Amino acid sequence: MNTRRLGRTGPQVSAIGLGCMGMSDLYGPADQDESIATIHAALDAGITLLDTGDFYGMGANELLIRDALRGRQRENVQISVKFGALRDPAGTFVGYDSRPGAVRNFVAYTLRRLGTDYIDVYRPARLDPNVPIEETVGAIADLVKAGYVRHIGLSEVGVETIRRAHAVAPIADLQIEYSLLSRDIEAEILPVCRELGIGVTAYGVLSRGLLSGQWSKASVTFVARARVSAARTSRTTWRSSRRCVRLQTSAARTRRVSRLPGRSHAAKTSCRSSVRGVERSWSMHSLQPN
């Protein structure tokens, strides 16, 4: 497995990471034993970057990762955690909270659920329209100084927010959707990330199975509804139009882009197949235009 550094200041991670959301939430039923086996297969294949959120399964996803990593060397795995999304007892997304006090509260619960004393990359899940990004990033920077967090990340934000956040503290990476079919970020966001030395952790790289032959109308509809519900709570949530444009030279040619496919459940062979699918997709994505 190839590795690369997330931006100029971030950790060295595997070029392909594993998104764990679907193992606990949003993509329908999941089997815990199969999910743990999938994480083990990913680690055995050389993947070191695991992505989660404290609101995935209302904390269940973090507990799953804790169980999967039991007996493994913590320093050999990088865990990326999103925070800030609020949900009601029915699981509906009802808003965001990125106030400094909330940040400190969220990280305390995450550290306990993960069974670790530090988080490799910590990021707000979306921009809180009621809290300046400077306050949120400043609170995470304090956690970095205290040793609870190693690096600061962002998720689904635009160029103005990226610049403002980076002016407060170094940003390791931006997590955002990017694939052959979702390429809007190439216009403005990728150039700014290159300029500031910020890595990009791309999710949805197989367009929810469309590029790998595993597309499911039922699962895509389910998660789309959940994300629409979440997006409605914030006027400033960055929205991708997901339109297909002509093939052109992309950020996949740089060494600051990592890919983050997600799996709800899989056997070892399926995990390896997913890794190969991502590698094929991004190999195509790196071609020069005719």
Active-site residue, 56 included: yes
Q: Which amino acid is at 64?
A: L
Nearest residue to 170 via CA among 149, 198, 191:
198
Q: Which residues make Cβ contacts (< 8 Å) with residue 166, sequence separation at least 6?
A: 196, 198
Q: Which one of the listed residues 56, 122, 148, 203 is annotated catalytic?
A: 56
Q: Which residues make Cβ contacts (< 8 Å) with residue 150, sequence separation at least 6?
A: 11, 118, 119, 120, 121, 144
| C-beta separation of 21 from 33 below 8 A | no
Indicate which residues carry an active-site annotation. Answer: 56
